Amino acid sequence: MHNETLDLLHQHQSIRAFTDKPVSDEQVREMILAATAGPNMQNYQPVTFIEIKDQALKTKITEQVGMKYIQTATRFFVLTVDFNKDLIGLNAEQKAIVEDRIQHYQLLEGGIVSASIALGRAQIAAESMGLGTVTMAGAMGAFELYEKELNLPRYVKAIMGFSVGYPDQNPGVKPKLPLSGSLMEGAYHQDQMEAAVAEYNETMKDYFKERGMDTDWTQHTAKLFAQMKPNVKLSEYPQAKGFNLK
C-alpha cells in the first residue's frame, strides 16, 4: 500500500547537516500548527516549542552537549512539557487542586507522550515542505542552560531538542526492526522478539559494513548503553520543576 503520506513516513532520515537556505517564519508556523493539531492529554495541550535564535546560546549548548547540528541548524527548538498554561486564570482553590495533580507521575507521563506526538507531527510537517530534521534527547544535557536562559516557569520542563533546516546530506534511511519486532498479538511473546532481533542483526550487519563498522544492532546498542554517562542532575530535574512523581 502506498500514498504520499505513507511514503513520507517511510523515507524519514535524521539530518545533521544543513544548508544556508533560510527556513521561513511561515514554514515554522505551519509546522507548529500541524504539530499541535494532534491529540494530547485531556486537551490540556501541555506542549510548548521554544525557538532559540541567539547564535551565541546555540553555540554554548553545542559546546556542552557536543552536537554541532544545534549550532549549525537553521532553526533550533527546545520542546517542553508545559502545564503552566493550565494554571492561567484559575482562582486560588482551583489552582491548589491543579498544582496538587501536576505533582503526580501520570501528569508528567501524559505530558511527555503529548509532546512526543507533537514532535513526530512536526517532523512530518517539516519533511512535507522539503525540510530535514533531527530530534535530540541528548540536547537535555544542557537543561541547566535552558533553565538559566529561557525563563522557564514552574511546571514547564524541557524534554527534547529539535533542529530544522534544508538538508545538506543524504545519510540514507536506517533499517528498522521487522514488523514482528514491533507488533504482537494477544500478549508479549519473548520468542517472537528474539527471532525479530536475530533477523534485524543480519540486516544491520550489512548496514554497518557499508559504513566501515564490523558490528550488529545488539552489539552496537550495548556499546551505546555502556558509553552513556548517567546524569543524576537530569534525573532530579522533574522534581525541581514541580513534577514530584507522587
Q: Is the domain of 161 the same as that of 178? A: no
Q: Is the domain of 94 the same as that of 207? A: no
Range of the domain at 38: 4-171+228-240
Mean pLDDT of the 90-111 span: 97
Q: Is the domain of 165 the same as that of 178? A: no
Q: Is the domain of 234 the same as that of 203? A: no
pLDDT at 229 over 90: no
Q: Is the domain of 194 the same as that of 127? A: no
In a domain? residue 18:
yes
pTM summary value: 0.94
> What nine digits make up the cell of 124?
512530518
Q: Angle 194-216-117 (CA atoms, 0-180°, nearest 5)?
A: 70
Per the prediction, the chain carries an average pLDDT of 97
Q: Is the domain of 85 the same as that of 158? A: yes
Q: Which residue has the higher pLDDT, 230 or 221?
A: 221
Q: Is the domain of 191 the same as that of 79? A: no
Contact 109, 246 (CB under 8 A): no
Read off the CATH number of the domain in which 89 is found: 3.40.109.10
Mean pLDDT of the 99-118 span: 97
Percent of the chain clearing pLDDT 90 (strictly above): 98
Q: Angle 230-231-236 (CA atoms, 0-180°, nearest 5)?
A: 130
Sign of CA dihedral 86, 88, 90, 95: positive
Q: Is the domain of 20 the same as that of 78? A: yes
Mean pLDDT of the 33-48 span: 98
Length of the chain: 246
Q: How many domains is the chain partitioned into structurally?
A: 2
Q: Is the domain of 158 the same as that of 190? A: no
What is the pLDDT confidence band of residue 183, given thresholds at 50, 70 and 90? very high
Which residue, chain included where needed, has cell 494532534?
A: 38
Which 8-state DSSP code applies to residue 155? T
User: What per-residue confidence (pLDDT) applies to 240?
Assistant: 94
pLDDT at 1 over 90: no
User: What per-residue confidence (pLDDT) applies to 29?
Assistant: 98
